[in-house]
Chain A
Amino acid sequence: MVPLSYYLVLSGMLFACGVTGFLIKRNIITIFMSIELMLNGVNLSFVAFAARWQQLSGQVFVFFVMVVAAAEAAVGLAIIIALFRTRETLNVDQVNLLKL
C-alpha cells in the first residue's frame, strides 16, 4: 500500500509545476496546459483522500472538475484560435490590450 503522503507530495509537485509554468511561460497554449496540470494535481489529491477515507465524494468531485476542465478547454481553445486569427501571435505579452 502506497502511503497517502506519497500521493500528496506528487500532487503538490504537479501543482507547483503548473503554477510555475503558468507564471513563467509566454505561450498561451503552454499556460493553458499549465492550468490543466494544476487541475490534475488537485484531482490527484482528491482521489488519494477518497481512497484513504473510503468515501465517494472525493471521486465525484473529480468528475465535476474533469467536466469543467473539458468545457473550459473547448471554450479556451476556441478563444485562442480566434485570438491567433486576429493577432497572429500566441505570446500573451502582446495581447494585453482589450482593443485592437
Chain B
Amino acid sequence: MTPNLHLWLIPILPLIGAAINGLLGKRFSRQMVAGVALAFCGAAFGMALWIAARFSSLTLPHVENLATWLSSGSFSVDYSFALDQLSLVMLLIVTGVGFLIHIYSVGYMWEDGGYYRFFSYLNLFMFFMLTLVLASNYLLMFVGWEGVGLASYLLIGFFFLRDSAAAAGKKAFIVNRIGDFGFLIALFLMIKHFGTLDFQRVFDAVKPYSPETAGVGFLTAIALLLMLGACGKSAQIPLYVWLPDAMEGPTPVSALIHAATMVTAGVYMVARSHVIFERAPSALMVVAIIGTLTAFFAATIGIAQTDIKKVLAYSTISQLGYMFLACGVAAFSAGIFHLMTHAFFKGLLFLAAGSVIHAVGGEQDMRKMGGLRKHIPWTFWTMTIATLAIAGIPPFAGFFSKDEILWRAYQASWIYWLIGIVTAFLTSFYMFRLWFMTFFGEYRGAAAASHGHEEHVLDSRAGAPAPHGHGHAGIHESPAIMLAPLVILAVLSVVGGWVGWPGSLGGNNRFDQFLGPVFRVSTPAVNTEHAQAGESLPPEKETEGAEPKTGHRTELIFTGISVGAGLLGLFLAWLLYLRRPELPDRIAASLHGLYSAVAHKYWIDELYAWLFVKPLIALSGTVFWRGIDQGVIDATLNSSADGARDLSDEVRHMQSGNIRSYAAWIAVGATAVVAYMVWVGLRTP
C-alpha cells in the first residue's frame, strides 16, 4: 500500500496563484501580488521537499491516477501523475530554482508596469512545467509541453509595446511549433504501434524489441521525431534561433524559462524516452551529433556577442548541446546531472546579469560596462562563482557534470570528446570575457550615460516608467530580496556538483546511482547485434551505473585536460580583455571574414529568412491569401451577394406603380398557372 501523496496538488497550487493574480491582481497592491505568487509557488516547493523526504519509503515508480481523461475504443489516456527518481530531480529543480527566481522577481520587477500580469504568467509557467515533469503519459506531458511554450511566449512578449519583444515572442512560438509537430507525429506513431501513451506501458511494449541496428524502423522514426520536438523546445540546431531573441523578455524570465527549466524539457523528454532511444542507435547518434554541433556552434557565436544576455543565451544553447551529447552517448544520468548543475549556475548567471543590468540602469551592452566590481560586490562574487562553475573549474558544480559528460563522450567516440573539449575552452573564454568586460577595467558607460540613459531605460523597458535614470554615480547594489536568491544559487553552484563526485576522484557518484534505477532497468539486452552497433552505444555495463575502476587513470588525465581547457580560456580572456584590451580589435580586424561571420551569428537568421520565412510569406500572400482566401472563399460570398443585388435591381422595375402593368403581370402569371395545369391534365389522362 503506497501512501497517497496528492501529486496533483503540486501543479495545481501555482495555477491557483496564477488565477488569483490574473483575475483579481489588478486591484491588489504590489505586496499582495508578490505575496500570492510567492505563497503558492513556495507551497509547491514545500510539497516537493515533503515528497523528497518521504521518497525512500515509496515503491517506484509511484503513479497516482486521478481520472480517465479520454477513452476511445481500446485507447485511453489517464489524467495521472507519476513520480520516480528522474521526475523527483526535475521536480526539485523546477520548484526550487523557480521559487528562488520568484523571490528575485519581486525585487527586479518592482518598478515595472504589469506587475500582477508578470507574476500570473510566472505562476502559470510553473503549473505547466510541473505538469510536464510529473505527467505519467506522453499526452499529459504534451499538455505541459505546449503550456510552457505559451507561458514562454507570453513572458518573452511581456514588454509588448516594444516591437522587437512582440516579434521575439512570435518567433519563439512559431519555431517551437515546428518541433511540436514532430512530437505530435511521434505520439501518433506510438498510438499506432503500441495503442497507448502511458510511459510504463509504452516502455513495456518497446522492451521486447532489439535495437534497430540495420536500417530505420519505426522506433528510430519515433525517436527522431521526439528529438525534433526536443530540438524545438531545447533550442538545438536547427531550431535554436528563437532562444537568443527570447532575451527580449525580462531577465528573471530568461533565468527561469530560458536557462534553468523550460529549455531543459527537451533533455528531460529524451531522457524519459531513453527506452525508445536505446533501441534506435542511429537516432541516438543523431542526438549526439546535434548536441555536439550545437554546443560548439553556439559557443563560437557567444564569443563575439556584446549584449550580456545574448552571451548567456548562446551559452545556454551550448550547454544544452552538452546535455544532448550526454543523452546521445546513452549517458542519460550525466545529462540530467548537467541539467541540474546548469539550472543552478545558469540561473545564477542570468540573475546576476539582471542585477548588473539593474545596477547600471537598463544597459545591456557589455562595452558600456566595466569596473563594476567595486560598486556591486555581492553581484560580482556570486557571478564569479557561477562563471567558475560554468567554466568547469573544480570544485564548482559545472566541473563535475561537464567532466562526466566529456568522459562518457570519449568512451563513445574521441570526436565527440575533442569537440566537447574545444567547446569547454570556448565556454570558459567567453564567460571570462563577459566577466572581465563587466567587472574589471574602467567604467565605460559614464560619459554617455547621464544624458543618454533616460531614453535607453525607457526603450528597454517599454511601457514602464523609467525606473532609474542615473549615470555613473548611481550604480548601486540590488536590494536584499534580489541578492538572497543570488547567494543561495551561488552556494548551490558550489556544492551542487558534489553529489556526483566521480569515482576517479575518490567519490562514488551518488547522483548517478540515484538515477540508476530509472535508466538501468530498461537497458536493452546485450546481444551480438548490439555489440556490433559500435561506438554510439557502449555495452550495458558502461551505459549506466558504477564506472569501471580500471579507467581511473585515463579518466584523471582527461579531467586534467578539461580543467586545463577551462584555465586556458580564463588566461586568454584575461590577456585579451584586461591586459591588452586593444588586442581583440586587432584580431577581429585581421580575421575580418571569420569575425563578421561570428558576429553576425553566421547569418543563420538571414539564411532562414531567405530560405523559409520569405518563401512562406510569399506563398501565403499570393496563394493562400490572395489566391484561396480572397480568390475562392471571399469571391464566392461576394459574387453571390452581387448576383442577388443585380437580380433585385432588374426585378425591381416590375414595381412601376402602373396599375395596368401589374394587371398584365397578374394575367401572365394566371396564364402560366392555367397553362401548367392544362399541361399536367393532358399528360395524365
Contacts and interface: CB of A to CB of B under 8 A. Distances in A.
Nearest to A25: B660
B2 interface: no
A23 B660 contact: yes
A97 B92 CA distance: 93
B658 interface: yes
B387 to A, nearest CB: 98
B667 A19 contact: yes
Interface in B659-685: 659-660, 663-664, 667
A19 B669 CA distance: 13
Interface string B201-221: 000000000000000000000
A19 B657 CA distance: 19
12 contacts: A19-B663, A19-B667, A22-B660, A22-B663, A23-B660, A23-B663, A23-B664, A23-B667, A92-B659, A92-B660, A96-B657, A96-B658
Nearest to B664: A23
Interface in A31-71: none
Interface in B634-659: 657-659
B662 to A, nearest CB: 10
Minimum-distance CB pairs A-B, first 4: A19-B667, A23-B664, A23-B660, A22-B663
Interface string B582-620: 000000000000000000000000000000000000000
Chief secondary structure at chain A's binding surface: helix
A39 to B, nearest CB: 15
Contacts of A19: 663, 667
Contacts of A96: 657-658
A22 B660 CA distance: 8
Nearest to B674: A12
> Which among A22, A92, A96 has the greatest number of chain B C-beta atoms within 10 A?
A22
Nearest to B658: A96
A22 B657 CA distance: 16
Nearest to B666: A19
Nearest to B657: A96
Interface string A80-99: 00000000000010001000
Contacts of B660: 22-23, 92
Interface string B127-144: 000000000000000000
A47 B446 CA distance: 116
Interface string A17-33: 00100110000000000
B263 to A, nearest CB: 83
Nearest to A26: B660
A50 to B, nearest CB: 20
Contacts of A92: 659-660
A22 B658 CA distance: 13
A92 B657 CA distance: 13
Contacts of B658: 96
